[in-house]
Amino acid sequence: MKNFFVFFLLIGVFYSSIAQEEVKVPFSVAISAHINKYNQRIDEAYEDNDMERATFLFDSLVDNHLKGTYMDNFQVNQLKGESLSLNSFEKPIYLVTYAAWCVPGIGEIPAFNDLVERFHDQIDFVVLFWDTEENLKSKADDYSEFAHLVYVDEKSNQNSYIINKLKHALGFPMTYFMDPDKKILDIRKVITHHSSESLSNSYNIHFNSLSKGVSLLIADLDTRPPEEKDAEMVTEDLSKPTGPRDDRTEEERRIDEEYEKYRREKDSLKKLRDN
């Protein structure tokens, strides 16, 4: 009788440990399961010129089905050196997908470069061009030397299944935020604005948007066990960009203040939990 009791106890412990173990769902599996329904509904929203609904649908797809999945490993090409895999990046990843024919806002790349210069020790900033080597070469000088510029030429790429999901399912330009284990923390569309915006306004718009992604990655690093973090990592104040910020509108200033309030409240709650 005693032996039976021990046996069932061990079985219970075994299945309990399995239940507690995280199931790592690949990004490609999750998006394949839900993208058709999403595309059908968002097409209807665009036909009705309902941009708010389209945005809601995209956010719903990301929040309910894609966050928490794990990015599939795939090969990318460098301008210099051999090809490398996504898994070769060991830091949190700020991945931007682009193509040479995309026209960024005038302040987008300067804002991106400023963040790269300040945080490349903590984050791997990867700009992935769905393009040829020659087309990437024409854009390389625009980016910081600390950004990882890579490309995928579909004609020669062997990872077509994940390329199809990354490029064709969600489109581009798009940003993916991943922790060091390639767990997706968020996916966001690259913000756009009217081409008539001044350099200063464009810079401010993009810095505010891009810096929130950096904050997300830094915040995730702060929640990791001490042994997983670099002791020399220092979190900077993202509310102070190095570029021009003298001509913010009242609306932009209000948004900045709300975001700073949110960050302070979040930091306070974290300190309370830690204590």
Q: Residues 6 or more apart from 192 whose CB is under 8 A from it?
A: 105
pLDDT at 142: 92
pTM over the 0.85 mark: no
Q: Give the pLDDT score at 123.
A: 96
Q: What is the DSSP letter of 50?
A: -
What pairing do the DSSP bridges indicate for beta strands 84-85 and 184-189?
Answer: unpaired
Q: Return the CATH number of the domain spanning residue range 73-269.
A: 3.40.30.10
If phi > 0 it is left, if psi is from -120 to 50 it is alpha, else beta; for residue 271 that is alpha
DSSP-derived letter for residue 63 is I
| Mean pLDDT of the residues in the chain | 78
pLDDT for 221: 86
- Annotate 205-238 with b (16+ C-beta within 10 A) or e (fewer): bbbbbbbbbbbbbbebbeeeeeeeeeeeeeeeeb
Measured CA to CA, the distance from residue 95 to residue 219 in angstroms comes to 17
Can you give the residue ranges of every domain in the chain? 23-69, 73-269
Question: Looking at residue 196, what is its pLDDT?
Answer: 78
Residues of the chain with pLDDT under 70: 1-22, 154, 156-165, 167-168, 226-275
